[in-house]
Amino acid sequence: METTLRGVGVSHGVAIGEVRHMGTAVLEPPAKRIPAEEAEREQGRARQAVDAVAADLNARGHLAGGEAQAVLEAQALMAQDPELMADVDRRIAVGSSAERAVYDAFAAYRALLAGAGEYLAGRVADLDDVRNRIVARLLGVPMPGVPDSDEPYVLIARDLAPADTALLDPALVLGFVTEEGGPTSHSAILARALGVPAVVALPGAGELAEGTVIAVDGSTGEIFVEPSEAKRAEMESAAAARKAALSASTGPGATSDGHKVPLLANVGGPGDVPAAVEAGAEGVGLFRTEFLFLDDSKQAPSEEKQVAAYRAVLEAFPEGRVVVRVLDAGADKPLDFLTPADEPNPALGVRGLRTLLDHPDVLRTQLTALAKAADGLPVHLEVMAPMVADRADAKAFADACRAAGLQAKFGAMVEIPSAALRARSILQEVEFLSLGTNDLAQYTFAADRQVGAVSRLQDPWQPALLDLVALSADAAKAEGKSCGVCGEAAADPLLACVLTGLGVTSLSMGAASIPYVRATLAKHTLAQCERAAAAARATDSADEARLAAQAVLSGE
């Protein structure tokens, strides 16, 4: 009998297939004692296992490329954390086996992360994955991971670590469903980059029996268990119609009556550029430069290394617009040489622009490298600061850009509610705004973007969030300046129409979402988008806002 479940849709598309479950986590190793004379050998075993796992993560990252590479390289650094390894050595010295010492050391570190504020909860899944891989290697058992199968399937997991998500084979993994995670978790972002339909935060997903046929709608978040033939035909027909519409839609982003809405790509480095170009991106709306810094958390990359990486991206979009976000360090992206390790709540502490203003040499080097990278190129370079709170922040950033001799537009990200509320004041110092809806939602609703339990408050359809977008867009219009969206909200085709109706002037997203957004915008006039935006803001919940906008745009 067909039943319907609902999670959070995070990656467009439809998948119909049999359920396969993720390999189970490594069992807790026994707490056996070892003789003192074996301690040195056990310490060597632990180091070898850690190095092997780090090498494997780096190799997976190299194969995956793009944002996935940066995420996996950060995981490899986590595996080799000196403090963790020192704790492992200490535990072995007092009688623990290598596998038990690793298990207990990671458990202690896990508790520290969990107690350091909810913002770091997303790091716990990554830490657990690293621990499981090291312990599995020490025990000589298979690594936890994606199941072996010759037939395509829908993958079910409690959560997916970046190492697993990055190398999913879309020819075999039709889609995936997780019990945990949120719309802006690593697995969700990588799923969109892969173009794999995905639903997260589905309670009870692990209870779906192996081999059960399910239909996954990555747009609505609906899961149909044992779908009827009629339901299968309906979903397959809708998927075919969507595919045809995508193929027919080309060129710059615009509404049906010709209102231009440039569609840009979010990239983490040169590895993401080919997919962006293939999708028809009109430029880059968010170049996340922090991934370059995560290659070595002990020191900043040299100016020469930065110039090479920036120029590779700038050269890919001649005459196009490339918006670079300067280093956004802190909170879930800690760097040993920049961010304090003892902040009680890193998400509310020194992160983003605050970190850079505390380390002006790092900001100066990055801005100088950007100036050199753009020298002689016809690209339209724009540089923006993350986590701008007020006009003083915006002025400090603009002054630093001018001091570095940067010939570019300077902008501010709107991720803190105060920036949206005082957007017109901030625009006295900078030339454009870019809305990071992921963090803006997090700070507006006090809802950690990595925690599935509060995912309803991370929904970008929340009317309060739409109000803040409208405030920012209205301020930019009044000042004759631009206001784009580079958060994950822009990747939702229906919401893209609403954002356009709110006055947003450009949309930036993962490359895989660009065709969907382009095709949907092309079906509607600007006036329809404006009516849909007004209808959404007049509601009291995210679900009501989505339905109200849908009703307007479908002509109901």
Read off the pLDDT of residues 514-545 as tens digits, 9 standing for 90 and up. 998 999 999 999 999 999 999 999 999 998 99
The answer on pLDDT for 437 being more than 70 is yes
What does the pLDDT average to over 275-285? 93
Q: Which residues contact 285 (CB under 8 A, 6 or more apart)?
A: 264, 265, 266, 321, 323, 434, 484, 486, 490, 506, 507, 508, 509
The answer on pLDDT for 332 being more than 70 is no
State residue 118's pLDDT score. 40
Q: Residue with structure tokens 């409690």?
A: 158
State residue 246's pLDDT score. 73
What does the pLDDT average to over 491-501? 95
The answer on pLDDT for 382 being more than 50 is yes
Mutual angle of helices 542-553 and 526-537, in 10-degree steps: 150
What does the pLDDT average to over 19-31? 77
Mean pLDDT, rounded, of the chain: 87
Choice between 64 and 34, residue whose per-residue pLDDT is larger: 34
pTM for this entry: 0.70
What does the pLDDT average to over 192-215? 88
The answer on pLDDT for 432 being more than 90 is yes
The answer on pLDDT for 182 being more than 70 is yes
State residue 94's pLDDT score. 92
State residue 117's pLDDT score. 42
What does the pLDDT average to over 161-182? 80
Choice between 282 and 193, residue whose per-residue pLDDT is larger: 282
Confidence of residue 342 (pLDDT cuts 50, 70, 90): low
Choice between 424 and 450, residue whose per-residue pLDDT is larger: 424
Q: Of 39, 36, 116, 113, nearest to 81 (Cα)?
A: 113
State residue 66's pLDDT score. 64
Distance between CA atoms of residues 117 and 186, nearest Å: 18
At residue 219, φ and ψ (nearest 5 deg) are -85, -45
Radius of gyration of the chain (CA): 24
| Among 92-101, 205-214, 224-233, 409-418, the range of highest mean pLDDT | 409-418
State residue 146's pLDDT score. 76
What does the pLDDT average to over 34-48? 92
Catalytic residue IDs: 186, 486
Share of the chain above pLDDT 70, in %: 90
Q: Which residues contact 315 (CB under 8 A, 6 or more apart)?
A: 377, 379
Choice between 314 and 124, residue whose per-residue pLDDT is larger: 314
The answer on pLDDT for 468 being more than 90 is yes
Give me the amino acid identity at 186.
H
Q: Is 427 helix (H, G, I), strand (E, B) or coil?
A: coil
The answer on pLDDT for 290 being more than 80 is yes
Distance between CA atoms of residues 218 and 15, nearest Å: 8
What does the pLDDT average to over 432-436? 97
Distance between CA atoms of residues 119 and 115, nearest Å: 10
Evaluate whether 139 touches 131 at the Cβ level (below 8 Å): no
Choice between 178 and 184, residue whose per-residue pLDDT is larger: 178
Distance between CA atoms of residues 139 and 26, nearest Å: 9
State residue 120's pLDDT score. 45
Q: Is 344 exposed, middle or buried (0-12, 13-18, 19+ CB in 10 A)?
A: exposed
